[in-house]
Structure 1
Amino acid sequence: MLAFSELTDADRRAIDALLDQRQRVIAPRRDVVAEGEVPRFAHFVLEGWGCHYRQLSDGRRLMLSLLLPGDLFDPHPQAVVRTDHAVGTITAMTVAEVAPDALDALGREHRAIARALWWNSHVVMGTQREWIASLGLRSARERIALLFCEVYFRLRTIGRCTGATCEFPLTQADLAEATGLTPVHVNRMVQELRRDGLIEWGGRTLTILDLDRLCAVASFTPAYLHLDRAVPVG
């Protein structure tokens, strides 16, 4: 969230004070918010990876979006009676739970924070639209390439990349849930991208060997991430 507005020291102190009040650590592969739960808090991801997901009664599951450090989810829990999807962890995750009234007050008192909250919501909606477009328009190879590009650009924006390398703790089963493919199909596509000299992936890290070519394979443009509000994308 902090990437989407220029915050003063006072703004950052106000955010830190709010986030320090109530924190929770959730183990990997657990729900932070279960489907059908009565929501109480807005959540900030302080550390770890997670996802929004939808699961059918027979166990089939689809990721709706990824949650990375610095993300805000469920910013307006007072607007719904019960959640219509779940939020789960992928790795161990530390979240700050913030009362909606306190978050609203923070936005009223700090205009830059209000802008950051608005842009966060805008990026979330843009990302979900792009994932929907991927399911309907992109091939399996293109979907996998898009996910690699998206994660790399998002992590680079918050300073969590070392050169062309970033953390990437997803499994091939996770990639299958994020792209609507089978794990076997994901494996074939990942091997193709490796053979083509586009990526290296192993040991929970991803290295983009040729970013321009990978973006071209994915038909990826960072426009939906609105990085022009944060850092240069070149």
Structure 2
Amino acid sequence: MLRVLIADDQDLFRAGFGLILGAQPDMEVVGEAADGEEAITAARRLQPDVVLMDVRMPGKSGIEATREICATTTAKVLVLTMFDLDEYVYDAVRAGASGFLLKDIRRDELAHAVRTIASGEALLAPAATRRLLDDLVRRPAHGVAPRLTTRLGALTEREHETLKLVAHGLSNAEIAAALVVTEHTVKTHVSRMLNKLGLRDRVQAVVLAYESGLVVAGESDNEDHTCE
């Protein structure tokens, strides 16, 4: 049973999301929060699997709450917004959010998103993906912290290739075709790559790849990949 915490400053949204998710056979809404501070307290106390987080709330923002929740609990955060090109997409991902969706999604999409996030995958609405990539393009590569440089150096050649392909937005199936390996092998490469880099999911891997200069906006991956 997936445990879900809903954080939104509007009663209507909390109630609506609660009804949708509470009706799912594999989900339980364990709590609600009306601002960022309440969300942090509830997440630490209730230990949910997923937190639905409104990006804009009074007092401590959804971004600040996401950062603290991701740093102090094992919960995955799915950020929700009313704005299809919200300027906080980059900040939300940097804070540790595993997903970013619009509040006008259909009920079946919301349930699917929660399951996706809980399974360890990342999920971004198309508009949010465009905003994230636009932000990354505008931010010049500035290198990464020494500890992450060391971790990047610990990647095998195949894990390094996998990171670049993930950053280019390829799915596991597409990466498998590019590397001439099975999808199961790709999942293993992705999992090991994330573990070595200390990253929560593929979204953070994309940010790291761009910020470190490993991937340059606008370039395509034309390397000749061969199977191991």
TM-score of the two chains, using structure 1 as the length reference: 0.27
TM-score of the two chains, using structure 2 as the length reference: 0.27
Which gives a bigger RCO, structure 1 or 2 (Cα 8 Å, sep 6+)?
1
Which has more helix, going by share of residues? 2
